[in-house]
Structure 1
Amino acid sequence: MQQMVGKVLRQRLINDSELPETIHPVLRRVYSARGVKCRDDLDYTLDRLPSPWLLSNIKTAVALLSKAIERNWQILIVADFDADGATSCAVAVRALRLMGASNVSYLVPNRFIHGYGLTPAIVSVALTHSQPDLIITVDNGISSVEGVEAARQANIQVLITDHHLPGAILPAANAIVNPNLPDDPFPSANLAGVGVIFYVMLALRAYLREQGWFSRSGSREPTLSGLLDLVALGTVADVVLLDQVNRIFVAHGLDRIRHRRCCAGIQALIACAQCSFENLTANDLGFSVGPRLNAAGRLEDMSLGIACLLTDSIETAQQHANRLDALNCERRQIESAMQEQALACLEDLNFQTGGKPLGYCLFHESWHQGVIGLVASRIKDQVYRPVIAFAPHEGEELKGSARSIPGLHIRDALDRVATQYPDLLNKFGGHAMAAGLSLQRAHLKAFRAAFLGVLKTQLGKESFEDIIFSDGTLECWDLELAEILRVGGPWGQGFPEPLFDGLFWLEGFRIVGENHLKLALTTLDGQQQLNGIAFRYLPPDWLKLGIKVKLAYRLDINIYRNLRKVQLLVEYLAPS
């Protein structure tokens, strides 16, 4: 259920800007609050992308790739098992084949058997899979010290492309491309894995052009912008910050998808999700398309998702997408049951500690390893505390997935635990807001105590204010403004969709679906009637007809039987 109790509503600060008066005043206010200073900040043309040559080690990487193509090496892509990893793999395979590589294959670790990244076990599988001359990791590899060593001992060259934060020791790969390497001069550290490999392919194309490869080989120089649908999907699904570079990627990818100039797999996934191509938003990629692709890696094998993205047959893509859709339904059922168990764990922990602890480490013997990240995220939203959910792995090992709140860098918090207690964690890695880890079952209690100890040093009382930032009030709620706001994006992490607040009369309410609250509202002057909906939210006891309510909402367009109406998507509901 959506949690609204305890949320704090605040107004966003409006920054100084030089945006032109031709921009709608509401949109201009929204942009200014997000740090947009001038029209150049909204220029999403591809020539605004920073040069790929700014990335550390990029020249070494593309020289290695060029050699692999010219000498017809066996190239193996080792991918991650989430949507970012799947799209990264598809970009790498498609781009390399377009540039003349004839022996390109891919391998995805099975999370239940091999674990994450390029491990020695995966190198062993690779040797029987295709006997590669070159392994390219996508969306993984920065922590694969042992795996890279195993590959080099087997005379396999290794190129790591990743975006995760590096540890103290880097793998001894032939080249590492990662904008989060220390002192990397690339101006955006927020690239997803798919953004990193796309940049590598841009640099490779330029290098091959300079070397005369396309004229010598008779290959046609490819237009890599045709891969931006994949880049957009992976970028949004991985919830990276939408800085200007990522907004350029997503804007162009969305444009391709809306005009159906996307790969067959994305077309099929959108059809399964019953989204409108013409009105598709980044939100649809994140909450409708991405989860269906992720379902393969969570419950079975992400090779299914990658196959869906690589086929050019719409019929084959639809078959894959239908299977992914079925897996996603199964995932929802598993997640729902796990969430109920997690809530019961919360009650026990709260009882034991006499109130909410600073964070939660939750474990259940029956939990599914592929779904713990979703459960951690849901519970984090409920309690507004850092949450780590654990599931059994092999033998006595537990796998954990962590989700954080603003103000706590969760990967750095795990690093502090590992530094203070070197024997507690087997492995860990991740980002500021999400991380993965593994430990022995016998260490869970000690880890929980160590983790809470780190939280005491990192979090103050103000950290637990679940703040909703509003872009102010509106004076009109019409389709024209809703459309202006919709196309004013792409909106997403770090560049949030506009949210407004206001007072309304409550004329009626009812439950739709299983747990969504539908509201009938009237503006205070009585001049306009509006519909609102709060997803996964049941009516509180205080909700009564005829009262004045305070809302925070997004202005949305509800399309039903080709009829378009304004709808308020409610994120905060309180009595006035």
Structure 2
Amino acid sequence: MSKITTRTYDSHTFEALSGSGLSPVLARIYAARGIENSSQLETELAHLVPFGQLKNITATAALLADAIAAKKRLLIVADYDSDGATACAVGIRILRKFGAIVDYLVPNRFEFGYGLTPEIVHLAHTVKQPDILITVDNGIASVEGVSEANRLGMQVVITDHHLPGDELPAAMAIVNPNQPGCPFPSKSIAGVGVIFYLMLALRAELRQRGAFTALGQEPNLAGFLDLVALGTVADVVKLDSNNRILVQQGLQRIRKGRGCAGINALLQVSRREYQQISTYELGFMLGPRLNAAGRLDDMSLGIECLITDDAAYASQIAKQLDELNRQRREIESTMQESALLKLEDTLKTRQPEIQAAYSICLFDADWHQGVIGILASRIKDKHHRPVIIFAPGNDGEIKGSGRSINGFHLRDALDLVAKRHPELILKFGGHAAAAGLTIHAHHFEKFCDVFEQVAQTLLTPADLTRVIETDGDLETSDINLELVEYLDRQVWGQGFPQPSFNARFYVESQRIVGEKHLKLKLRKLDSSSQGQAARKSEDSYDGILFFHNDPLPDLIDAVYRLQINEYNGKTTLQLLLEHWFHTESEVNDDAH
């Protein structure tokens, strides 16, 4: 079941924002997202949190500057998702501009798993022979890997943003805003943001040493914010004020045609124009294509796309990534169908037990471990439960990928499982919304039982009701192109949701377009007046309901977003329906 609620906000904050020049609608939207004054909406680089607030960053920059001067070999060890790939590209591109001897290595998830494992350390030592390993978007949990690197005579610099465990690795340096004692306020910064900040500190150190006199012009690091924006949005981290600055600045550069060859190529295969790019394109068009390399093949393909300046080569790789993404969608579709059938079968035999369950864990020997995270997200969205999907690993192990709901910190939950039953989980990591783990296949049933016990301990029945938050109703006069164009220019995403609204509508006409979508003509009702006939607004609106071709009733309540529709050279406003339900009835959970 679901329910719709209107986001609340402080009236004094609303008045302050209105007094600063914002319209009442915008003041309401921003106040509901925790904005207390207009300065928090500034997106200029001058408003970024200074790099010096990151613990260890100055000393780490000095260490890297010494390594560059001594011509030491640096090796970046990346993660195999979009954040890891963009972080690697940022590190490679900037370090080479600083004159460093640097290469990269990204673990194949099917052979080595996640992080700086002892196996990856041995591979790096044998194949690349680096003096210093630099992790990006991983490493904070790699206690054994760092120990092995130290034994083999390699130094390790960890840059990460994930939560640490009880023991920190014995690395030469750790830059992570979530490590104990770090005062950096933007705890939600992505891995690509952390390495970008380290490069800012390194540039300052090199500048102080006069290094750019020999190198020539000092590099403008703002030119790499396109990659920072992509990794930040694709990793679905909370868009706090600092992350919004990074993303907005990156978007502005892409819109002006200053994106790197790889991002431009990914936009082309996605059939998107760089001039209109938004966080949607980063998160739902570019991110999945980049991730497809790490899910089905080797993320080196994605990294190569992002570090090349050759437009033709980038285009060639982008086409390969596009094809991998198509294959990923086909695999995901098959797995989702299989998972839903498995759930239905389980419901038939354990109906009361499953309906009362607080969590869902599923395993199938035929599932692809590169796609289980996406499947977990789909099942979580459908059933509003913490979900962990398992697929076969190596040597009798199975690997799980989990996605969670609000109120249930997934990594902390797995930590609790590990503390209560140390024999169950071989390794795990992650954060509140997503996590990964490895267990023995024969422990699957017991893990499901223990995880369910933890879920019942940490969640309440109210937590299992999906809450659809909106920004309330809009006056007819506020539904205009000016508002939607303004909203489209802003940065929205995780923790700073794109505005949506809810209202009651008459459905005046509806027709199927594209075989699976409903094109609508809607007339808004005035909730303040009495009687259905008198409540019809004078204005009607075009609407669209994607992936739904059954007819709607004449009267609906709907959650919608404002959207610009461009067709035959004309720009019009339409309402994109995200959820709908029969008036005076429960929310229709099947709505899109």
TM-score, normalised by the number of residues in structure 1? 0.96
- Displacement, 1:50? 1.1
Measure the CA separation in 2 of the matches of 1:517 and 1:128.
Answer: 58
Letter in 2 for 1:412: D
Deviations 1:286-330 (A, max 9, x none): 011111111100110000000000010111111111110111111
Shift of 1:485: 1.7
User: Does the residue aligned with 2:275 lie in a helix, a strand or coil?
Assistant: coil
Q: 2 CA distance for matches of 1:14 and 1:328? A: 40
Match of 2:522 in 1: 521
Contact 1:80–1:109 at 8 Å: present in 2 too? Answer: yes
CA distance in 2 between counterparts of 1:282 and 1:203 reads: 27
d(CA) in 2 for partners of 1:223 and 1:322? Answer: 30
- For residues 104-125 of structure 1, the C-alpha deviation after alignment (integer angstroms, 9 at most, x for no partner) is 1111100011111111111121
Deviation at 1:514, TM superposition (A): 5.6
Alignment partners' CA distance in 1, 2:515 and 2:75: 46
| Counterpart position of 1:455 | 455
Aligned-pair CA distance for 1:427 = 0.6
How many residue pairs were aligned?
Answer: 564
Q: Aligned partners of 2:94 and 2:128: how far apart in 1?
A: 19
Deviations 1:408-430 (A, max 9, x none): 00000000000000010011000
Secondary structure of 1:8's aligned partner? strand
Runs of 4+ in 1 over 4 A off after TM superposition: none
Alpha-carbon contact 1:86-1:306 (below 8 Å) kept: yes
Name the amino acid aligned to 1:461: P
Question: How far has the Cα of 1:283 moved from its partner?
Answer: 1.4
Q: Retained in 1: the 8 A contact 2:328–2:371?
A: yes
For the residue of structure 1 that corresponds to 2:274, the secondary structure is coil
Match of 1:322 in 2: 319
Instruction: Please list, as runs of the form range in 1=range in 2, the aligned pairs for 1:45-124 lying within 5 A after superposition.
Output: 45-101=44-100, 103-124=101-122
Secondary structure, aligned partner of 1:278: helix
Distance 1:129 1:563, change over 3 A: farther
Deviation at 1:450, TM superposition (A): 0.6
Which of 7, 10, 30 aligns to 2:5? It is 10
Distance in 2 (CA, whole Å) between partners of 1:382 and 1:514 is 23
For residues 384-463 of structure 1, the aligned pairs below 5 Å read 384-463=384-463
Name whichever of 244-253 and 56-65 sits farther off: 56-65
CA contact (8 A) 1:551 1:574 kept: yes
CA distance in 2, matches of 1:513, 1:409: 40
- d(CA) in 2 for partners of 1:318, 1:130: 28
The answer to whether the aligner puts 1:497 opposite 2:498 as a matched pair is: yes
Aligned pairs for 1:177-576 within 5 A: 177-215=175-213, 217-351=214-348, 352-354=350-352, 355-356=354-355, 357-476=357-476, 477-487=479-489, 489-513=490-514, 515-524=516-525, 525-539=536-550, 543-544=552-553, 547-576=554-583
Of residues 117-126 and 383-392 in structure 1, the stretch that sits farther from structure 2 once superposed is 117-126
Deviates more, 1:374-383 or 1:32-41: 32-41
Identity of aligned residues (%): 53
Per-residue CA distance 1:117-151 (angstroms, 9 max, x = gap)? 11111112112322000110000011111111111
Query: Secondary structure of the residue that 1:528 maps to in structure 2?
Result: strand
**1:147 aligned to 122, 130, 145, which one?**
145
Shift of residue 207, structure 1, vs aligned partner:
1.1
1:150-180 CA-partner distances (Å, limit 9, x unpaired): 1111111100000011001111110111001
CA contact (8 A) 1:266 1:309 kept: yes
Tell me which amino acid in the other structure corresponds to 1:331: R
Q: Distance in 1 between matches of 2:273 and 2:506?
A: 32
1:334, distance to aligned residue in structure 2 (A): 0.5
Contact 2:20/2:38, CA 8 A, preserved across alignment: no
Per-residue Cα deviation, 1:76-113 (whole angstroms, up to 9, x for no partner): 00000000000000000011011111x21111100011
Asked whether the 8 Å contact 2:98–2:215 carries over to 1, the reply is: no
Distance 1:277 1:561 in 2: 20
Distance 1:95 1:307, change over 3 A: same
State the match for 2:31 in structure 1.
32
One-letter amino acid matched to 1:30: I
- 2: distance between equivalents of 1:239 and 1:567? 27
- Provide, for residues 372-415 of structure 1, a one-character-per-residue CA deviation record: whole Å limited to 9, x for no partner: 00000000000000000000011211010000000000000000
- The 3 A distance-change label for structure 1 pair 334 and 433 is same
CA shift at 1:538, angstroms? 4.9
Query: Which whole-Å CA distance do the structure 1 matches of 2:373 and 2:566 have between them?
Result: 32
State whether residues 397 and 439 of structure 1, in contact with CA within 8 Å, keep that contact through their aligned partners in structure 2.
yes
Q: Is the 8 A contact 1:499 1:554 kept in 2?
A: yes
Change (3 A) 1:453 1:277: same
Go from structure 1 to structure 2 and tell me whether the alpha carbon gap of 1:515 and 1:195 turns closer, same or farther (over 3 Å shift): same
Unmatched 5+ stretches in structure 1: 1-5
Deviation at 1:470, TM superposition (A): 1.3
CA 1:513 to 1:342, structure 2 compared with 1: closer, same or farther past 3 Å? farther
Structure 1 counterpart of 2:538, one-letter code: Q
Distance 2:57 2:288 in 1: 32
CA deviations 1:51-90 (Å, max 9, x no partner) are 1111111122112211111011111000000000000000
Distance 1:270 1:464, change over 3 A: same
Give the structure 2 partner of residue 3 of structure 1: none
Measure, in 1, the Cα distance between the counterparts of 2:371 and 2:508.
40
Task: For 2:103, give the aligned amino acid.
Answer: S
Unaligned runs of 5+ in 2: 526-535, 584-592
Offset at residue 21 of structure 1 (A): 4.9
Distance 1:257 1:143, change over 3 A: same
Which amino acid is the alignment partner of residue 39 of structure 1? S
Is the deviation greater in 18-27 or in 107-116?
Answer: 18-27
The offset of 1:183, in angstroms, is 2.4
Shift of 1:526: 4.6
Output the CA distance in 2 between the equivalents of 1:511 and 1:104: 55
Look up the equivalent residue of 1:14 and give its one-letter code. Y
SS at 1:188's partner residue?
A: coil
Q: Distance in 2 between matches of 1:130 and 1:559?
A: 51
